Amino acid sequence: MEYAEHVVDLVGNTPLVKLNSLATGLSTPVLAKVEYVNPGGSVKDRIALRMVEAAEASGELRPGGTIVEPTSGNTGIGLAMVAQRKGYQCVFVCPDKVNVDKRNVLEAYGAEVVVCPTAVPPEHPDSYYSVSDRLAAQDGCWKPNQYANQSNPESHYHSTGPEIWEQTEGRITHFVAGVGTGGTISGTGRYLKEISDGRVQIVGADPEGSVYSGGKGRPYLVEGVGEDFWPAAYDRDICDEIVAVTDADSFQMTRRLAREEAMLVGGSCGMAVAAALRVAATAGPDDVIVVMLPDGGRGYLKTIFNDSWMASYGFLPPDHAAGSVGDVL
Ligand code: PMP
């Protein structure tokens, strides 16, 4: 019989899928690393597993302990899944602007979600930061802190990087990924640089306005990427180039991925693909571009895949025929 002992054993070893319609006219293959097939639905399953295992090994997380992290998204799902397997509790702290569907997913996995007001300064005792620090300081609690935890980039150094190298038989020439905590690009990029003697070009994709592409943290709507500070998980020596992508381009490309490639993915995927296609436009037939697709699109049906929402921000392309995508709600 062929089966896994637990869904956690299925984290990683994700496939590469060639872009077809979107890469029309290009001589360079653009291969998408499809992370939504991870059991928790995103690339963050990888870091959750490694951060927990490292904390167990160091004694920071003890049997029956509680994982406390300020997250509302993919990292929370990964941590909740790993925690359930290993018998830990999870408490996630999120600001009240986070939509209820996201909170519901975490609760469905058995996690507790503490919601904090957005409209208070960071030093206020009820703020997102204060509450998560206070909870994490309690006995038996451990805070992974994905922004500073070196197990985050290490998980990619040990899994994502080697997978891509083997899947492309060492022919990859460019790796393109969105930058959030920086863990994906730093860990995968370091591995690919080392094994190729510096040949593989590492390209970060960033929402216009974020610090990685020279901004000051100006607001943007694409989720999971871009920062207004420099996280310790990001290694500034890895990226050869950073490509800034607007929200409009990111979201239009996300919708094209669903309609033209049958890949229902999140907004940071559209952002990374927009950057990868720019790289591909100047690459040659012997180049091989791998682009990271971090999560699936189900969590974005009310936003990116909704015409009214897109139109309200002016993100629909000018030639968009009214009603052609339809209101998916
Ligand atoms: N896309 C999404 C949807 C994410 O949740 C994240 C993680 N914040 C990223 C991209 C960026 O990955 P990383 O944190 O490894 O830079």
Complex confidence, ipTM: 0.98
pLDDT the model gives residue 58: 98
- Residue 225 Cβ inside 6 Å of ligand 1? The answer reads yes
Model confidence at 327: pLDDT above 70: no
pTM: 0.94
Q: Which atom of ligand 1 is nearest to the CA of 267?
A: 3
CA distance 255 to 300: 10
Kindly tell me the burial class for residue 102, based on how many C-beta atoms sit within 10 Å of its own C-beta (0-12, 13-18, 19 or more). buried
Pocket test for ligand 1, best of 44, 211, 242 (most atoms within 8 A of CB): 44
- Look at strands 112-116 and 89-95 and give their pairing: parallel
Model confidence at 295: pLDDT above 70: yes
- Residue 73 Cβ inside 6 Å of ligand 1? The answer reads yes
- Residue 181 Cβ inside 6 Å of ligand 1? The answer reads yes
pLDDT digits (tens, 9 = 90+) for 116-166: 987 888 789 998 889 999 999 999 999 999 999 999 999 999 999 999 999
Model confidence at 323: pLDDT above 70: no
CA distance 15 to 13: 7
The pLDDT confidence band at residue 328, using thresholds 50, 70 and 90, is very low
